Amino acid sequence: MTLADVTRGGVLAAIQEFDRLGRDAFLKSTGFGKSRAYYLDHQGSLYDSKPIIGYAHGASTGTALGPTDFSGGDKTVAQRLEVLGFVVAFLPNPDWTRDEIILACDLVLANGWRQLDANDERVQALSHLLQSPAIHRGRRNPDFRNPAGVALKTYNVVADGSNGNQLDKLVRQEFQARPAEMRALAGRIRELLREEAEAEPLSNDPDLDEMAVREGGVTLRAHLRRERNPKLRRQKLADAKRRGIAIACEVCGFDFQQVYGDRGRDYIECHHRTPLHVSGETNTRLRDLALICSNCHRMAHRGSPWLTIEELKELVAMSSAMSVAPV
């Protein structure tokens, strides 16, 4: 018996049974666990691919396959489903970001540094919050940041990273060293998550958008949304011109017009001197903004904590000094 015996009709019969019983009951009746990454995507619904194939083999041949009878993955189950004309979605759970771990660690701290159960209302509330598209955009699998996953993360935090990853340990250490500051940051992240879920999408900027995902998501995206306010940028440019200040990078001095001529006239990016998660929601004043070039902007936001304008200037000065130093 091989997966080649599975027919399209058998798969459709498995889908019908899955829909009739519901996911949990279908998995229990077939003896399979939940899929970890590969899902059959049929008419907009997701189905655990390996259990579907196991049942479908029985519908096709009269002999169902159990979880130990065959292996899952793209070379077996996914391949057979695609040969039969079905769509397979690869939807693994993404790694937890720093923002998410901060929220989980905040739960643990509030619980006296003890892990929480999946049935705890606080865990369920955090699960619901993390399932918004504010941090991880796009389609997610059915178990994405479910209460069981959130409860497991609180266990990893309590275990001081021995059962989690290095980032779990680092965030826990930050909470232990600066509990008031980190709890305030957790509160701000929760606010931003709720705001981000309702906000208009950012204008496309592949470099910064990718950085927002890599660096943790919600705090950087909220910061970028405020920086990209076209009204604030126009006001900052007009103010600089009234004061006779060159439209050039305040960090490295790069002047787009000087290098690119008229094409570079008034081209510059605005940067908030104080990150949004530090300042909270404020009415931005022009003195809160700095005019910096694209490269310096990315360097300011690269890694955590974000660098200040003064720290960036020091880096540029040190680099310049080293480049002209005698050998």
pLDDT tens-digit readout, 175-233: 999 999 999 989 988 887 877 666 555 445 544 555 544 444 676 666 676 777 788 88
pLDDT of 213: 47
Higher pLDDT, 235 or 219: 235
Are 69 and 36 in a shared domain?
yes
pTM, rounded to two decimals: 0.67
Q: Look at residues 144, 177, 198 and tell me which one is the last residue of a structural domain.
A: 198
Are 102 and 155 in a shared domain?
yes
| Among the listed residues 201, 213, 193, the one whose alpha carbon sits nearest the alpha carbon of residue 129 | 193
Q: Phi then psi for 308, rounded to 5 degrees? A: -80, 170
Containing structural domain, residue 78: 3-90
Q: Phi then psi for 178, rounded to 5 degrees? A: -140, 65
Are 71 and 140 in a shared domain?
no
Q: Look at residues 198, 231, 263 and tell me which one is the last residue of a structural domain.
A: 198
Count of CA atoms in the C-beta half-sphere (13 A) of 306: 23
Are 305 and 214 in a shared domain?
yes
Confidence band for 81, pLDDT divided at 50, 70 and 90: very high
Are 317 and 211 in a shared domain?
yes
Are 21 and 108 in a shared domain?
no
Are 232 and 184 in a shared domain?
no
Are 247 and 312 in a shared domain?
yes
Number of domains in the chain: 3
Report the sign of the C-alpha dihedral through residues 171, 185, 284, 197, in that order.
positive
pLDDT of 215: 46
Q: pLDDT digit string (tens) for 267-311?
A: 999 888 876 555 455 556 788 889 999 899 888 877 767 788 999
Are 147 and 228 in a shared domain?
no
- Given strand 87-90, what is the order of strands in its sheet? 45-48, 38-42, 87-90
Q: Look at residues 90, 121, 137 and tell me which one is the last residue of a structural domain.
A: 90
Q: What percent of the chain has pLDDT over 90?
A: 58
